[in-house]
Amino acid sequence: MSMKIVRAAAFAAIAAVAVFSTTPAQAFEAENPHCIAPSNPGGGWDFICRTTAKNLFELGVIKDAMQVTNMSGGGGGVAFAHVTKERNDDNNLIVAASMSTSARIAQGIYKGASFDSVHWLATFGAEYGALAVKKDSKYQDLKTMMEAIKADPRSVGISGGSSVGSYDHIKPMLIAKAAGVEDVTKLKYVAYSGGGEAMTGLLSGAVDVLSGDFSEMTGFVDSGDVKIIAILAPERIKAYPDIPTAKEQGYDVVGANWRGLYMPAGASDEAKEFWKNAIMKMTESEDFQKDLEAKSIEAFNNFGADMDKYVMQSIEDITNISKEIGILK
């Protein structure tokens, strides 16, 4: 082989390597995307997954329709363990999250879990907590209910769509503390697997009061089946001006619950970037904003480093509140 041919071959090989090395890697695209709602149908986590699935597909951000699976149990612990132990490197999986998720990590309810057990993807909404009763309940206002609890903390059954120690549990405890109840851990709290089941418990008469998020209750308020006796907002909600705040009734308690998503910590960087950008694009959609407004959920967006900072602060805040009201020592 002549020297010219050798040099030409060598140059071609070098050029090929250069072209290959400078060509960007093929962008990640989700295949058979999957969202897990850590509760039964009808609650806030279920809303997160189904609304996300609908909007991402309609926007064309994902080419395949997203599968939604309800995986209840352990106040979200079954789903959390499933993700961290069995699907830690799944690039196509996202999971509904909220203040209750960070609360369980703070309180050690998810055994062995910490902030970095998963990859925190985004928050995209926040809504206020509320207390609701059946329309014919003897507790037609917050004061009447709190007087009964002060007389006997076990006399009023309170349901929530999350486990003991969750944010649904903490909300009435904070109000009871503001009312002067000495030991708020004595409140009778009945945990259900999701807001839908908790509402069924209220409507069936199994409990007296429902502690949950405002969006879980509005449909039943509109139908006349339930009455919200207090919303934990700084002022009345414009869409429901007749619903009083806890604050105006003499109990200075304001409580908002963030809505968002996490994904497996072991997923690829490309997948994490894809899902972050996908959710960012979704939050900019007018249709998505309408979905939030229909549930009286306010836009509340955190991504990337801001999301990490927010969740870390959320865990710290819940830890402090839990110690203050006696859930944690």
251-282 pLDDT tens trace: 999 888 899 999 999 999 999 999 999 999 99
Average pLDDT, the chain: 89
Q: Which domains does the chain show, CATH number per domain? A: 34-126+257-324 (3.40.190.150), 128-249 (3.40.190.10)
User: In this model, does residue 129 exceed pLDDT 60?
Assistant: yes
Name the pTM for this structure.
0.76
Average pLDDT over residues 203-213: 96
CB count within 10 Å of CB 23 equals 8
CA geometry: angle 130, 247, 162, nearest 5 deg: 25
pLDDT of residue 96: 98
Closest CA to 220 of 249, 200, 192, 206: 200
Closest CA to 51 of 223, 279, 240: 279
CB count within 10 Å of CB 295 equals 21
More confident residue, 109 or 66: 66
pLDDT-derived band at 165, boundaries 50, 70, 90 = confident
pLDDT of residue 164: 84
- Distances in whole angstroms, Cα of residue 142 to Cα of each of 5, 165, 182, 210, 235: 91, 22, 18, 12, 16
| Close Cβ partners of 235 (under 8 Å, ≥ 6 residues apart) | 245
Contact 35, 66 (CB under 8 A): yes
pLDDT of residue 162: 83
User: In this model, does residue 3 exceed pLDDT 80?
Assistant: no
User: In this model, does residue 19 exceed pLDDT 60?
Assistant: no
- What is d(CA 194, CA 107) in angstroms, rounded to the nearest whole number? 19
- What is d(CA 317, CA 315) in angstroms, rounded to the nearest whole number? 6
Quick one: DSSP state of residue 166?
Answer: S
Average pLDDT over residues 43-52: 94
- What is d(CA 296, CA 27) in angstroms, rounded to the nearest whole number? 36
- What is d(CA 258, CA 194) in angstroms, rounded to the nearest whole number? 16
pLDDT of residue 321: 84
- What is d(CA 160, CA 167) in angstroms, rounded to the nearest whole number? 9
pLDDT-derived band at 298, boundaries 50, 70, 90 = confident
- What is d(CA 105, CA 115) in angstroms, rounded to the nearest whole number? 7
- What is d(CA 301, CA 207) in angstroms, rounded to the nearest whole number? 35
Closest CA to 39 of 74, 88, 12: 74
CA geometry: angle 127, 128, 130, nearest 5 deg: 135
Least confident of 12-21, 221-230, 320-329: 12-21
pLDDT of residue 167: 85
Burial string for 60-95 (b: 16+ CB within 10 Å, else e) reads ebbeeebebebbbebbbbbbbbbbbeebbeebbbbb
